[in-house]
Copies of this chain bind each other. A is one copy, B any other.
Amino acid sequence: MMCQPLAYDGVVTEPRWLDQRQQRAWRGHLAVAARLQAELNRRLQADAGLSLADFDVLVALSERGDGGAPLRVTELAEALQWEKSRLSHHLTRMQRRGLVGREDCPDDARGAFVVLSPTGRSAIEQAAPAHVAAVRELVFDGLDDAQVDAWAAVSDAVLARIADAQSAG
């Protein structure tokens, strides 16, 4: 990841790169994306020994609860919007650390279930409150409702354009 605020003026002059206002927003977004991720990751690592990726996997698993049907790898990948390959690698690492387990799927011999281990469950339960607090502290405590709505609208607009580009591409 992770690119950084740069003006680009040295290499891009025609057609004009971005106007002043756009450049400010763009650099802001890049900086926020990079630092927020770094800071949240660092805190989560420091006080729970988890990465953001671990956290997301564990949250997705714990949301099914013990009662529900166990999650298939592909379902989990869908929920996380991850590539299957990335998830497979990550599950291998998490399995090595005892956070999750894999189980055979009786209905489809190709398939596999992913299950939350007791260790994984207690890790996520311990980690979540501090993570939530960090997001509040670093992000939402500094924004009013109107800003939050405006931000969401921007995100929706950008996501729509990305989706368009990909379906057209």
Using a CB–CB cutoff of 8 Å, the interface residues on chain A facing chain B are: 1-12, 15, 17-18, 21-22, 24-26, 28-29, 31-37, 39-41, 52-53, 55-56, 59-60, 62-65, 79-82, 124-125, 128-129, 132, 135-143, 145, 147-162, 165-166
Residues of chain B within 8 A of A166, CB atoms compared: 39
A145 B21 Cβ-Cβ under 8 A: yes
B143 A154 Cβ-Cβ under 8 A: yes
Task: Report copies per complex.
Answer: 2
Residues of chain B within 8 A of A141, CB atoms compared: 161
Closest to A35 in B: B162
Known contacts A10-B59, A128-B12, A165-B39; decide if A21 and B52 are in contact (CB<8 Å).
no
B56 A4 Cβ-Cβ under 8 A: yes
> In the assembly, what is the distance between CA of A42 and CA of B119, in Å?
37
B52 A12 Cβ-Cβ under 8 A: no
Residues of chain B within 8 A of A37, CB atoms compared: 1-3, 33
> In the assembly, what is the distance between CA of A5 and CA of B59, in Å?
11
**Which of B64, B148, B158, B160 lies in contact with A36, CB distance below 8 A?**
B158
> In the assembly, what is the distance between CA of A166 and CA of B39, in Å?
9
> In the assembly, what is the distance between CA of A69 and CA of B22, in Å?
30
